[in-house]
């Protein structure tokens, strides 16, 4: 089926310091190229604009007239081939998705004894698609995604962790007419439109794979029935000098959470950092839960690997979804100029491979993306959701 002429998305960005003028600029851009009353709209705004959340909300609701709108504060924003890492910035993606159903939601976390309850999750099937924006201080994202993975059959989830504040209550979120400071916001789409997820974790495997033979929580005691540190040390000693240097600068492990493949770019591994080693006990600690029997392979991260991995992922995605109307891009705050030594790297690559696709997004404090159909939170990665008209 060829794409509908009415299936259309547009993105806009503003660097203006005055919030009112900046919103006029991005909303005018959308109105001129897309028209009013889009079905969905997603706004990202730097802390400079967060205190004017009511103005942002009103522009989306009443001037743009979006049926479903969400937004959050971020340390930097993205649109087209442009990344704003410093200074004021607004980016907006809006889309017309005729025949699709869209529904916004706000998740809250309520403590109950030793556990807690997440409220507000929509009743959705696996054919739907979800965009999720979460607060790092008030929403238990990792345990929540873990609980979703237990359900096995889940819709793809794409999103990011707000990076616009550094203490509880400092982030701002928009969800339709509401302004909230905690929890998570998002929307679901179903019907004629879908969001195809892709994840680029920016690492490459080094050394041989191991099997975890003894572990507890996030501490690995044995790999292939030998002390875990011994496996790590032997792997490093066999590396070429350059690979050894790269690994020591930012040691990573790939945990093969699943054995099947499916989503673009992930390959079944979830990348996590090495957070500590104990030579005396032989233990290695990583930043995630590790189960016995899990396959593990050490990984290296550097700007060349990150560039090539994202290029490969986008290249494959562009061949599979050449007619994508829009995309939401979530790139880690640890990437950008700090990793690549120049601005606009990730957004520029996305624009190169998807020149006709409207792209907007943010620098995130954690990127939400699917690995083989299961949602995880990633770091130093790019998570991207392509808005595609469903065939059939």
Residue 92 is predicted with a pLDDT of 98
Instruction: Copy the structure tokens of residue 311.
Output: 């290029």
Express each pLDDT in 202-211 by its tens digit. Answer: 888 888 999 9
pLDDT band at 374 (very low <50, low <70, confident <90, very high): confident
pLDDT above 70 as % of the chain: 95
pLDDT band at 1 (very low <50, low <70, confident <90, very high): very low
- Provide the b/e sequence for 21-46 (b: ≥16 CB within 10 Å): ebbebbbebbbeebeeebbbbbbbbb
Express each pLDDT in 257-278 by its tens digit. Answer: 655 444 555 456 888 889 999 9
Strands 40-45 and 68-73: parallel
Instruction: Copy the structure tokens of residue 286.
Output: 């990583």
**Helix extents (H) in the chain:** 19-33, 47-50, 53-58, 141-149, 228-237, 241-249, 303-320, 336-340, 345-353
Report d(CA 10, CA 31) in Å as an integer. Answer: 9
Report d(CA 300, CA 313) in Å as an integer. Answer: 18
Report d(CA 31, CA 324) in Å as an integer. Answer: 20
- Averaged pLDDT of the chain: 91
pTM of the model: 0.91
Residue 242: burial class (beta carbons within 10 Å; 0-12, 13-18, 19+): exposed
* Least confident piece of the model among 132-146, 160-174, 192-206, 319-333: 192-206
* Least confident piece of the model among 4-8, 120-124, 294-298, 368-372: 4-8
CA 28, 30, 36, 41 torsion: positive or negative?
Answer: negative
Report d(CA 226, CA 232) in Å as an integer. Answer: 10
pLDDT band at 5 (very low <50, low <70, confident <90, very high): low
Express each pLDDT in 132-167 by its tens digit. Answer: 999 999 999 999 998 898 887 778 999 999 999 999
Residue 235 is predicted with a pLDDT of 92
Query: Looking at the predicted structure, is the pLDDT value of residue 391 above 90?
Result: no
Query: Looking at the predicted structure, is the pLDDT value of residue 119 above 90?
Result: yes
Q: How many CB atoms lie within 10 A of CB 285?
A: 17
pLDDT band at 390 (very low <50, low <70, confident <90, very high): confident
Instruction: Copy the structure tokens of residue 365.
Output: 């404090």
Report d(CA 272, CA 257) in Å as an integer. Answer: 12
């Amino acid at each position: 089926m060829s794409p509908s002429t009415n299936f259309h998305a547009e993105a806009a960005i503003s660097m203006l310091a005055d919030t009112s003028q900046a919103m006029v600029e991005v909303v005018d851009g959308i109105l001129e190229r897309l028209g009013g009353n889009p079905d969905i709209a997603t706004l990202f705004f730097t802390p400079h604009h967060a205190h004017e959340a009511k103005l942002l909300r009103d522009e989306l609701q009443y001037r743009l007239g979006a049926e479903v709108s969400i937004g959050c504060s971020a340390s930097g924003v993205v649109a087209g081939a442009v990344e704003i890492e410093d200074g004021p910035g607004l980016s907006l993606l809006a889309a017309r998705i005729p025949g699709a159903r869209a529904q916004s939601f706000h998740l809250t976390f309520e403590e109950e004894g030793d556990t807690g309850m997440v409220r507000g999750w929509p009743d959705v099937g696996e054919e739907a698609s979800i965009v999720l924006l979460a607060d790092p201080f008030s929403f238990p994202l990792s345990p929540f995604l873990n609980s979703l993975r237990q359900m096995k059959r889940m819709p793809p989830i794409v999103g990011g962790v707000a990076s616009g504040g550094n203490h509880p209550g400092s982030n701002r979120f928009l969800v339709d007419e509401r302004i909230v400071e905690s929890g998570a916001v998002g929307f679901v789409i179903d019907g004629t439109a879908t969001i195809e997820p892709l994840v680029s974790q920016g690492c490459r495997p080094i050394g041989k794979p191991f099997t975890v033979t003894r572990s507890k929580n996030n501490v690995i005691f044995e790999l292939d029935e030998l002390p875990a540190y011994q496996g790590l040390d032997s792997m490093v000693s066999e590396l070429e000098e350059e690979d050894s240097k790269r690994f020591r600068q930012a040691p990573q492990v790939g945990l093969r959470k699943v054995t099947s493949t499916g989503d673009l770019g992930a390959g079944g591994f979830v990348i996590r950092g090495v957070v500590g080693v104990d030579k005396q006990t032989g233990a290695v600690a990583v930043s995630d839960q590790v189960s016995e029997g899990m396959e593990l392979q050490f990984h290296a991260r550097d700007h060349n690997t990150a560039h090539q991995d994202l290029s490969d992922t986008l290249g494959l995605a562009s061949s599979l979804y050449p007619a994508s109307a829009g995309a939401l891009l979530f790139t880690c705050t640890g990437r950008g100029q700090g990793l690549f030594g120049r601005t606009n790297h990730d957004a520029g690559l996305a624009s190169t491979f998807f020149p006709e696709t409207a792209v907007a997004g943010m620098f995130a404090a954690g990127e939400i993306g699917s690995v083989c159909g299961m949602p995880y939170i990633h770091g130093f990665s790019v998570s991207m959701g392509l808005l595609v008209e469903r065939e059939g």
